[in-house]
Copies of this chain bind each other. A is one copy, B any other.
Amino acid sequence: MASDLRGVYAAVLTPFTDTLEPNLKAFVAHCHWLLAHGCDGLAPLGTTGEANSLSVAQRLALIEAAAGGGVPMGKCIFGSGSCALADAVAVTKAAVAAGSGGALLLPPFYYKNPTEDGLFAFFSEVVQRVGDRRLRLYLYHFPQLSTAPITVSLVARLKREYGDTIAGLKDSSGDWQTTATFLKEVPGFGVFSGSEQFLLPNLRAGGVGCISASTNVTAPLARPVYAAWRASEADALQQALTEARLIFQSYPLQAALKEMMAVITGDASWRVLLPPNHSLTMAERAELAARLGALPQMQPVLRAAA
């Protein structure tokens, strides 16, 4: 059985209180808002969700809040990576127990140049210690931040050992050739592109969708690309989507997205990030709003909350 999770996913932002605790109620509300505004599914607790800045207890509380708050767990892929094996196991277990569609696992990212044997051992320990056939693991290829690339050869070893448990991959490398190689070399692998910029090429090459930071805001533009990807208008829709994405990624991404959520919802508490991340400067805020506001396709998106 290949992965059946498909479509436009947002790497869900985590809202915080002014004492830097996750705002559970606002988080659940944001999950529902995303599903009502173009998202097919959700990927909370990833890089965008500042999960590595959270304790395990804070991460478990967010999973529990989502499950208890009626967020459809089958549409969720929870980030569950950690440098610490025990932590990665604890969060992955909680995601599976909550009924999540999958877990998105970073490689351990402190020690540099880990060997393939070392990464295989880490992922193997996670799979075996979770010990649940419902587990659908998505490997997280994000070498710019993890410093530990996921290779085709590693994926092949893991799939030989653990089969469908190794369900797919999120490719946040920003390098289309890497995505194309995974799609070619690992048939039936559930490959999400890490940016909606590559949504259309990924679908055309056999990928399953995108899991992106910026779809917290741009999902209403990404959804038509996904819906129409076999049709002739798809290229123009992708172009409109890419224009918005490229504006976001010219700023610190989490801060830019939280800024636009503050603008869209009128809730200034969206501007809180955990250190070392921090909010945009006043000049950046004005510039970002002006640049996005100048795109005709962003007009309905920016009025979404109204």
Contacts and interface: CB of A to CB of B under 8 A. Distances in A.
A84 B110 contact: no
Interface stretch (A112-120, A167-175, A262-270): A112-120
Interface centre among A84, A85, A122 (most CB of B within 10 A): A84
Interface residues of A, number: 38
Interface stretch (A51-59, A97-105, A202-210, A282-290): A51-59
Nearest to A53: B84
B55 A84 contact: yes
A278 interface: yes
Q: Taking the full assembly, how many copies of this chain does it contain?
A: 2
Contacts of A112: 144-145
A110 B52 contact: yes
Interface centre among A121, A144, A274 (most CB of B within 10 A): A274
B83 A58 contact: no
B278 A53 contact: no
21 contacts: A47-B110, A52-B84, A52-B108, A52-B111, A53-B85, A53-B108, A54-B86, A55-B86, A56-B56, A57-B86, A58-B86, A107-B276, A109-B109, A110-B145, A114-B276, A115-B276, A115-B278, A119-B276, A121-B276, A122-B275, A148-B276
Interface of A: 20, 47, 52-58, 83-87, 90, 107-112, 114-115, 117-119, 121-122, 125, 144-145, 147-148, 274-278
